[in-house]
Structure formats: structure tokens, C-alpha cells
Amino acid sequence: MCENKPLKLPENLRPRLQSPLGRLFTHITDVFYHIQKVRPTRLITVGDMVTSCFLSAGFKPDIAVVDLTLMRSPVNEKIKSLIDSFEANVVKVENPAATITPELWRALESAKSPTKIIVVGEEDLATIPAVLTSPDGSVVVYGQPRQGVVLVEVDEKKRQEFREILSHFVR
């Protein structure tokens, strides 16, 4: 599924992606409880706030995707030091806003646990390739601005939903 050209988010798809693509949790502790219950085969966190919350609670993601910004501003020192302290293979990729680059896709596809993918640009759309490259039983968690945290349990039905979304991207 990895493309050789960047995939661009079309304007008409933005509203759909502003809605949760999985189960929305308003309290992070509920997410931790749910993850302990489902015991995912792979845990992927997308975003600096989500990743730092998991790390501070003692959860080590298999793959963490961060861009060291929150709401378009650099993360604070506490979040940065939490992410820096996460001992993992580090992969740096370029990924402009509203884009999924082949570089980001390949980084997710080839990541071995634990891996920290540092995105130069924006990691907002990384959830899509994270779901599409993960095995059944994986969990992808990302932040939903001003609403909470979204948890996506990966199975073939969910991957099909994400492939359908991706089919609307501009190649």
C-alpha cells in the first residue's frame, strides 16, 4: 500500500477527519484501563501529548510518532524531556502538513519495537498509515483536539475503513 509519491489531504475530506476515527475517551485513565484490558499486540501513539501521557503513566509504546509541537507551537520542556527520555530506535522523517509521505509510511511499516519516529513537519495524519501497517490486535492512540483521546483497535474491518479514507487522497 506504500505509495512512491506523497498523498495530499483534499479539502473536502477535512471534516471527516475532524471526527474521531475510533473510540473517543474523554479521560486518559479510561484509555489506560482499556489498554490493560485488551492487551494489544502493538501499541502505537501518535502525537506529543498522547505519547508523553503514556510515558508518564509507565506505558511504553512500541511505536511513538511525534513532531515536538502542540497545536503548532513547540512542546514545553516537560513533554520534550519525557519524549527524549523514551529509549527507542529513533527515525527522523519529513512529512509536510496535510500530507502522508512515502518516508513516513516506510518508517511505520519497518518499525521494530521500540521506535520513536520524529516527524519534521506534521504528524497529524500518521494515524492512517499506522493503522494500515499494523497487525490485527494492535491499538493506535491519538489526540482529538479539545475532546480527548481516540483509540483505534486494528482489525481488517478497520483497515478497510482507513483504505477507503485514503482512496480520497490526492496522489
SS3 per residue for the chain: CCCCCCEECCHHHHHHHCCCCCEEECCHHHHHHHHHHHCCCCEEEECHHHHHHHHHCCCCCCEEEECCEECCEECCHHHHHHHHHCCCEEEEEEECCCEECHHHHHHHHHCCCCEEEEEEECCHHHHHHHHHCCCCCCEEEEEECCCEEEEEECCHHHHHHHHHHHCCCEC
- pLDDT given for residue 3 in this prediction: 59
- pLDDT given for residue 72 in this prediction: 79
- pLDDT given for residue 2 in this prediction: 56
- pLDDT given for residue 1 in this prediction: 54
Q: Has residue 96 been placed in a domain?
A: yes
Q: Has residue 8 been placed in a domain?
A: no
pTM of the model: 0.96
- One pLDDT digit (tens) per residue for the chain, 171 residues: 555 899 999 999 999 999 999 999 999 999 999 999 999 999 999 999 999 999 999 999 999 999 999 877 899 999 999 999 999 999 999 999 999 999 999 999 999 999 999 999 999 999 999 999 999 999 999 999 889 999 999 999 999 999 999 999 998
Our count of domains for the chain comes to 1
- pLDDT given for residue 40 in this prediction: 98
- pLDDT given for residue 79 in this prediction: 95
Q: Has residue 146 been placed in a domain?
A: yes
Enclosing domain of residue 140: 44-166
Q: Has residue 150 been placed in a domain?
A: yes
Q: Has residue 1 been placed in a domain?
A: no
Q: Has residue 7 been placed in a domain?
A: no
Q: Has residue 136 been placed in a domain?
A: yes
Q: Has residue 108 been placed in a domain?
A: yes
